């Protein structure tokens, strides 16, 4: 089967869809796909994983294992991924015979912060001032106005990993050595007013739909709270962010669901932080609060179906659940009070089925929508109190 000839041919329910990656994003994709009548095969090296437990087939193999990839391609008519660090060459191998979205070249751009920033800048979309750091001399030559800054490993960094705040060249050099002298970017530390993101779905026909802008709060580099609609973003800012996100998707010739994260500076200036070539944590609210969830959109785009409506049914607040709440102040294990969470009528609990909790590990999320007597903020505050999560 030629991927080019079949790009717009809808796959009927009952077809097999493939997923590279067995985490929670793959799990939620699998549920959405099965709801539409598709069967799902997941490739992941773990013996057990959230998506593998839910899928119709779990192929236990490394992401670059030729035999495993060939087994996935033999079973599935179309294949996608749930994380950006899957080897681009694996996507290229699969694309020889099967429909793959997003394509390897789009994922490869998002895998490297240096390449990503150059690409976004080439589209005329602003990014934070930065320099590529390939050797220690690059830090010596870096402009003074990049300090204080953040040194970020160019590859494999997420949720605050592979990043170090640096106030001087000396601190930057120490961080560069601590990272093993791998390629990095040194980025100016900007005075943020707040952070937002836009999730976009784009079909193979080039048509795009965008979800309402989400206002996000991060703690220790990990998303903690998403609020939609944003309390602080003006309609004009939301329109600019949405146009920029769609522009990035168009520039990548992207097919599927992706997210663009923005920093908002004084004067409503926008700069792109990074792109994620997959559904995104900040878009989880769409499961409960939108006509079509981001995961159903991923299925629709992959299967060649028309994209769904992204309109919101109600305002929403999403709270991330990390493994920290499974431990008390003395590090003793405990079970969170799920009954207290679900006693809030407008709260929807989503747990990811991970076998063990550990601090900073994403274990689930709760979405509260505006319904009934409680405002959405009051509902979220009650949930946060029940779980011991800071709010706002």
Q: Binding site annotation covers 82?
A: no
| Residue 274 marked as a ligand binder | yes
Cis amide bond preceding 368, omega within 30: no
Q: Is 187 a known ligand-binding residue?
A: yes
- Taking CA atoms, 64 is separated from 61, 89, 99, in Å, by 8, 8, 18
The answer to whether the annotation marks 65 as part of a ligand binding site is no
- Is 195 annotated in a binding site? The answer is yes
Q: Which two tokens stand for residue 377?
A: 């903020």
Is 354 labeled as ligand-binding?
no
188 is in an annotated binding site: yes
- Long-range contact set of residues 308-315: C-beta below 8 Å, sequence gap at least 24: 308/209, 309/209, 310/201, 310/209, 310/210, 310/211, 310/212, 310/286, 312/212, 312/228, 312/229, 313/289, 313/369, 314/289, 314/369, 314/370, 314/371, 314/376, 315/228, 315/229, 315/289, 315/369, 315/370, 315/376
* Of 264, 258, 297, 225, the residue nearest 29 (C-alpha): 297
Tell me: is residue 251 an annotated ligand-binding position.
no
Q: How many Cβ atoms sit within 10 Å of the Cβ of residue 311? A: 12
Task: Point out which residues pair with 48 in neighbouring strands.
Answer: none
273 a known binding residue? yes
- 297 labelled binding-site residue: no
Residue 33, annotated as binding a ligand: no
- Please tell me whether 23 is known to bind a ligand: no
Q: Is 374 annotated as a binding residue?
A: no
Q: Is 219 annotated as a binding residue?
A: no
Is residue 359 part of an annotated ligand binding site? no
Q: Kindly state the tokens that stand for 256.
A: 């599927």
Residue 173 annotated in ligand binding? no
157 is in an annotated binding site: yes
Binding-site sequence positions for ATP: 113, 152, 157-163, 187-190, 195, 218, 273-274
Q: Return binding residues.
A: 113, 152, 157-163, 187-190, 195, 218, 273-274
């Amino acid at each position: 089967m030629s991927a080019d000839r079949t790009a717009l041919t809808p796959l009927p329910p009952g077809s097999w869809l493939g997923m590279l990656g067995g985490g929670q994003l793959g799990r939620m994709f699998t549920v959405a796909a099965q709801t539409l009548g598709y069967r799902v095969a997941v490739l992941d090296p773990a013996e057990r994983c959230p998506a593998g437990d839910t899928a119709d087939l779990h192929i236990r193999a490394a992401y670059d294992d030729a035999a495993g990839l060939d087994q996935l391609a033999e079973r599935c008519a179309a294949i996608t991924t749930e994380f950006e660090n899957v080897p681009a060459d694996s996507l290229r191998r699969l694309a020889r015979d099967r429909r793959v979205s997003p394509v390897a070249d789009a994922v490869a751009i998002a895998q490297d912060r240096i390449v990503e920033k150059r690409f976004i800048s080439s589209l005329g979309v602003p990014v934070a001032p930065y320099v590529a750091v390939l050797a220690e001399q690059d830090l010596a030559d870096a402009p003074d106005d990049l300090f204080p800054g953040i040194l970020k490993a160019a590859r494999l960094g997420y949720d605050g990993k592979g990043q170090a705040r640096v106030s001087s060249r000396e601190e930057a050099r120490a961080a560069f050595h601590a990272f093993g002298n791998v390629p990095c970017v040194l980025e100016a530390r900007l005075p943020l007013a707040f952070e937002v993101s836009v999730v976009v779905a784009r079909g193979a026909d080039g048509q795009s739909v965008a979800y309402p802008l989400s206002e996000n709060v991060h703690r220790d580099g990990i998303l903690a709270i998403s609020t939609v609609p944003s309390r602080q973003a003006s309609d004009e800012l939301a329109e600019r962010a949405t146009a920029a996100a769609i522009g990035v998707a168009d520039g990548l010739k992207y097919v599927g669901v992706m997210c663009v994260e923005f920093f908002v500076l004084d004067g409503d200036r926008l700069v792109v932080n990074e792109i994620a070539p997959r559904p995104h944590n900040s878009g989880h609210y769409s499961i409960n609060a939108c006509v079509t969830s981001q995961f159903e959109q991923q299925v629709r785009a992959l299967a060649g179906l028309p994209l769904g409506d992204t309109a919101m049914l109600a305002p929403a607040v999403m709270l991330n659940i990390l493994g920290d709440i499974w431990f008390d102040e003395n590090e003793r294990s405990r079970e969170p009070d799920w009954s207290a969470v679900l006693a809030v009528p407008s709260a929807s609990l989503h747990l990811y089925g991970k076998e063990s909790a550990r601090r900073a590990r994403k274990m689930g999320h709760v979405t509260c929508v505006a319904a009934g007597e409680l405002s959405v903020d009051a509902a979220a505050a009650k949930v946060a109190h029940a779980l011991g999560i800071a709010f706002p």
